[in-house]
Amino acid sequence: MPHLVWMVTEEKYWDTESGLFSVWAPICAMHVLSKIGGKEAASAVYSAMRIHYDDTGDWITEDMPYVLAAFGIEGSDTLASMVADARLDEYVRDRAARALVIISGVYPEIKSRSVEVLKKAITDEGDESARSILADTLAEFKDSDTLPFLEDLFKS
């Protein structure tokens, strides 16, 4: 596992401009680490998403929520902080939010906290596009208590 963590965190593997490496190596390593699990693996994957989201291209939109969610309930605090961090790219925040939806399906005890984190992120978000993306994910929780919140959001 140490080699996989190194591959995900080492800058040279993310450098596609030199032509020496393909960004697919760290992306594949992230997938493998999500299956291995553990704190070190989770930390490497979460860190890579914060730093290298631009390098993942369209891959981030489809697979990332499942990769992030694979670390389970233990990763929910980190995912919540990613959702709340307005400095992160809106799609990284949304992928973290979608991971919380997935984890909440397995661990219902974190659903209400996840919904509240997402509501706060939406309320605090100044960018309309980012708000809309996060609101779409909030709707995935299928929580009837969020309907008035979503209705009010789109009235303004």
pLDDT at 155 over 90: no
pLDDT in tens, 83-138: 999 999 899 999 999 999 999 999 999 999 999 999 999 999 999 999 999 999 99
pLDDT of residue 35: 93
Condensed to tens digits (0 to 9), the pLDDT of residues 35-85 reads 999 999 999 999 888 888 776 666 666 888 999 999 999 999 999 999 999
Hey, what are 72's tokens? 């389970």
pLDDT category of residue 21 using cuts at 50, 70 and 90: low
The pLDDT assigned to 80 comes to 96
Identify the CATH number of the domain in which residue 132 sits. 1.25.10
Q: Structural domain of residue 64, as residue ranges?
A: 2-155
- In the chain, the number of structural domains is 1
The DSSP line for 102-134 is HHHHH-GGGHHHHHHHHHHHHHH---HHHHHHH
For residue 12, name the pLDDT band (cuts at 50, 70, 90). Answer: confident
> Which stretches of 14-156 are assigned E, i.e. beta strand?
none
pTM assigned to the model:
0.88
Q: Which residue has the higher pLDDT, 80 or 20?
A: 80
